[in-house]
Amino acid sequence: MSWNLHGTHAREGDLAQLVGLRYKNFIFTLKAGEKLHTHRGIVCHDDLIGKPWGSRIYSHKGSPFFLLQPALGEVLRSLPRNTQIMYPKDIGFILINMGIGPGQVVVEAGTGSGSFTTALAYAVGDTGHVYSYERKKEPQELAGRNLKRLGLEERVTFKARDISEGFDEEGIDALFLDVNNPCDYIPQVRKALKPGGFFGSIQPTTNQVSTLIHTLRMHGFAFIETVETMVRYYKCEPGRFRPVDRMVAHTGYLVFARPLVEITSVYDLEESMPEEDAEMPEARDAD
């Protein structure tokens, strides 16, 4: 299977997306001799292989579809799941805010169905690596199948273990927690991260965020930011352009922080600062 976003024509083994006129879409791997059964008719894979991306094709009933390469967000939404997945609007912000890119070593705790794991594996490229921790092995089996479907399985190592025992990796570039009570694991996080590395977490409620911020400050993390992302889609009809009727509003609070060298508590650091600089390690003001 190949997720080749650089090709101009569909090839056998490519991940493809068929989109109907009402935006109903199907994501699947092209295989010679296979057929895709839809509510608007059957589409033969052989009729797609070799076609330029963006081509219009028809089912056996004459219903039109367009052949496209799926974007990462569409792939993540289509993954089989047995747990709540992280939304693309949060994932994109996390990847950028934590500087995650090719060649980096990243740890996540809370594999779930592998949605965020997939995004991390995509971002670190062939030269990076992702270590994913989960208490139970069963969720990781589904995540592993999802990664294999996209050809990203070699970039991820799964570990079924309680992170209260600590992480095997040290000096890593970034670490993200999607677990209950992340404040319980901040000492382990600090030991695993390189000095000045990137920490992130997602939490559903404000009281959990407050506890996490306090714990981070107690363990020498500074430049703490809390963000809630909002994305609103619009109907793209020139004559009646307006917001869509529904939107995904609150999904979680994103918390980011950086560990400082030789600082055991940011509270102690503030006590030694001039009064006008006492809030220096906190997040920057909004632009």
- In the chain, the amino acid numbered 89 is K
Residues paired with residue 171 on neighbouring β-strands, in sequence order? none
- 181/121 Cα distance (integer angstroms): 25
Rounded mean pLDDT, 183-187: 97
Question: 16 has which bridge partners?
Answer: 28
- CA-to-CA separations, 247 to 11, 93, 106, 208, 242, in angstroms, rounded: 36, 18, 31, 24, 13
What does the pLDDT read at residue 281?
47
What's the chain's average pLDDT? 89
- pLDDT at position 271: 56
Percent of the chain with pLDDT over 70: 90
| 22 pLDDT above the threshold of 90 | no
Work out whether the CA dihedral 92, 214, 182, 132 comes out positive or negative.
positive
Q: Other C-beta atoms within 10 Å of 218: how many?
A: 16
* List of domains in the chain: 15-70 (3.10.330.20), 73-277 (3.40.50.150)
Q: Mind listing the pLDDT tens digit for each residue in 104-132?
A: 999 999 998 889 999 999 999 999 999 99
Quote the pLDDT of residue 178.
Answer: 95
Mean pLDDT of 164-173: 97
Residue 282: band (very low, low, confident or very high) from pLDDT cuts 50, 70, 90? low
* Residue 6 vs residues 28, 51, 70: alpha-carbon distances, Å: 18, 14, 12
- Report pLDDT digits (tens) over 55-111: 999 999 989 999 999 988 888 888 777 667 788 999 999 999 999 999 999 999 999
Judged by average pLDDT, the poorest of 54-58, 145-149, 214-218 is: 145-149
pLDDT at 273: 52
As given in the structure block, the two tokens for residue 37 are 């059964």
The two tokens of residue 108 are: 């996540």
So what's the pLDDT on residue 236?
87
Is residue 29 scored above 60 in pLDDT? Answer: yes
What pLDDT digit, counting tens, does each position of 31-52 carry? Answer: 999 999 988 899 999 999 999 9
